[in-house]
Structure 1
């Protein structure tokens, strides 16, 4: 059959991986820097998931979360108020 050599990472991959590593204060393993596929896997494991909406929690979310917070006697993390997706996840976890 055909035998192909693995492709090296692209410049864009390297730049993006280095930015992630810098943000998370982690090192990129040498093995992950050898092939395009290995670096892509490392990036997928370490990139932060972008917010779907990118907006703050809605007033209805906040009201419902505060009601749950009182009933369950659990604090709502501050970052949930800044991100609607995170607030939704907190609500789902505390229903």
Structure 2
């Protein structure tokens, strides 16, 4: 006995879900909308109509309008908040932050993650 003859289209998904991919996009989150409004105010651009109904479209708009990351000689240096946090951790542990961490924000981030109190 074979299942193929008894139920020939049991596993045929085309009839059960004819309109894949999903037709309705996910709505934008409140955080997304808040950030987009702030960006729109800073840049002077208006948000497109109906963009709050499409999370992916709003993400694309945000990517196109957000400020470019800083470039230049000091772009890879850790922020002052990162340095202050690392120094506070070092004081708590009665140690020091390695000097190379002050030259690279990724190293500083890793040092903070591996040394912060749990």
Higher helix proportion (structure 1 or 2):
1
Larger Rg over CA atoms: 2
TM-score (norm 2): 0.41
**Higher RCO by CA contacts (8 Å cutoff, separation 6 or greater):** 1
TM-score (norm 1): 0.50
